[in-house]
């Protein structure tokens, strides 16, 4: 079977990426840092090994949102693209919403549910973790 390839990028097209192989995890984060960075009530992330992801046009600009974490975004249009952090070495989160086919990687859990906005009611039966999900 051919290796799965996912592609995506920012709103203006300056940042594009190509991802080879299966994701490690697809999940929705309800933390207040993601909420602020994306100006959105919750944020979908798909996690990969860093080596699976190739930026094929401009590299994202990076902002250190904490001492441990870097958020990658398009310097032209501002679309949030990636998240890397010292507590997930070798891994990269890509925003589900920047994929060309976000429907291809449905989430399997919610995390930081303790920070979920009280008016955000979710009708799925997926597991909800109060903070980070357990790492395998």
Query: Is the CB of 5 or the CB of 12 nearer to Zn ion?
Result: 12
Report if residue 69 touches Zn ion, rule: CB under 5 A: no
Residue 35 three-state SS: helix
CA dist 126 and 107 (Å) reads 8
Q: At 42, is the secondary structure helix, strand, or coil? A: coil
Q: Is residue 74 a contact point for Zn ion (CB under 5 A)? A: yes
Q: Is 61 in the site for Zn ion (CB under 5 A)?
A: no
Q: Which of these ranges, 18-26, 68-76, 92-100, 116-124, lies near Zn ion under the rule CB under 5 A?
A: 68-76
Dist. CA 65–CA 8, nearest whole Å = 23
Integer Cα distance of 50 and 45 in angstroms:
14
- Residue indicated by tokens 């001492």: 67
Which 11-50 residues touch Zn ion, going by CB under 5 A? 12, 14, 29, 31, 34
Which residues sit at the interface with Zn ion, rule CB under 5 A? Answer: 10, 12, 14, 29, 31, 34, 74, 76-77
């Amino acid at each position: 079977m051919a290796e799965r390839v996912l592609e995506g990028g920012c709103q203006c097209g300056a940042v594009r990426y190509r991802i080879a192989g299966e994701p490690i995890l697809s999940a929705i984060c309800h933390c207040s840092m993601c909420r602020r960075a994306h100006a959105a009530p919750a944020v979908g992330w798909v996690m990969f090994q860093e080596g699976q992801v190739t930026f094929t046009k401009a590299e994202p600009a990076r902002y250190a949102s904490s001492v441990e974490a870097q958020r990658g975004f398009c310097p032209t249009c501002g679309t949030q693209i990636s998240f890397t952090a010292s507590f997930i070495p070798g891994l990269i989160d890509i925003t589900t919403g920047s994929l060309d086919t976000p429907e291809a990687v449905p989430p399997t859990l919610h995390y930081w549910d303790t920070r979920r906005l009280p008016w955000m009611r979710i009708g799925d039966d997926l597991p909800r973790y109060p903070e980070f999900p357990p790492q395998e």
